[in-house]
Amino acid sequence: MNKQRILLIIPAYNESEGIIKVVEVVKQYISKIELEIDYVVINDGSTDNEEEVLREYNITHIELIQNLGIGGAVQTGYMYALENSYDIAVQFDGDGQHDIHSLPNLIEPILNDEADFTVGSRFLDESNSEFKSSKSRQLGIKILSSLIYMSSKIKIKDVTSGYRAGNRKAIEQFVKRYPRQYPEPESYMHLFSKNIRVKEVGVRMFERTTGVSSINLIKGVNYMVSVSLAILASSILGKEK
């Protein structure tokens, strides 16, 4: 079997303080393994000096002229993966939350043709992640997980995890359509409707040390209501198709 070409998609918005460290960790890991891995940082219209930093350190990146949000930034990465004929695309946060050493766990089911798409989870028994997020967010994640299960009969525990990987079939699907507002939980409904095999695997995550989360306490309630409606709408549209 030919060696699979793997791309790390690293979305980053105003991450000038930490993006160099994230990329260095990735590059060091890549240099020590046999897998064929590249990376691309998606500068999502940052208003700090992130672009200057990326250029100064000669980091492979795409500069978006305006902020598209996490959905638009990640979809840009999937477009790059498809255009450059990568076999697997991995979403990897630019804020340092994802452990690069969990990458083998994430892509193994894809390499073994057991899944088309994988999601890295903090909540499975085999996960060695000490960081689980706040109690309020864990409650919200459980509610969304239950809603997805009721809509699809498929259980995903860590539905808001951004540490995910997909094969060419998943890449092509996300190039065609990738949710902009609530990409992680809503995208599962699109995958299920296209019979794309999804598997959850245990990974390790860290608490962010730089940047600001896109979801705060003030936006929390609105987020839960809006994403729940988006999941239900996606489920209905998928069944109609």
Q: What is the pLDDT of residues 206-236, one digit of tens each?
A: 987 665 555 544 466 677 667 666 666 666 6
- pLDDT per residue as tens digits for the range 101-130: 999 999 999 999 999 999 999 999 888 888
- What pLDDT is attached to residue 240? 45
pLDDT average, residue stretch 13-29: 96
Token digits of residue 142: 């459980």
Question: Which of the residue ranges 9-18, 38-47, 73-82, 129-138 would you say has the lowest mean pLDDT?
Answer: 129-138
The Cβ of residue 88 has, within 10 Å, a number of other Cβ atoms equal to 24
Question: Would you kindly state where each structural domain of the chain is located, as residue ranges?
Answer: 5-237
Q: CA 17, CA 155: separation in Å to the nearest integer? A: 36
pLDDT average, residue stretch 70-88: 97
- What pLDDT is attached to residue 234? 64
Question: Edge-to-edge strand order for the sheet containing 198-202?
Answer: 61-63, 36-43, 5-12, 88-91, 164-166, 117-121, 198-202
Q: CA 39, CA 42: separation in Å to the nearest integer? A: 10
Q: CA 128, CA 139: separation in Å to the nearest integer? A: 20
Q: Kindly tell me if the per-residue pLDDT of 7 is higher than 90.
A: yes
Q: Please state which of the four CATH numbers 3.90.220.20, 3.40.50.720, 3.40.50.1370, 3.90.550.10 is assigned to the domain occupying 5-237.
A: 3.90.550.10
Radius of gyration in angstroms for the set of CA atoms belonging to the chain, rounded to a whole number: 17
Question: Is the whole-model pTM more than 0.85?
Answer: yes
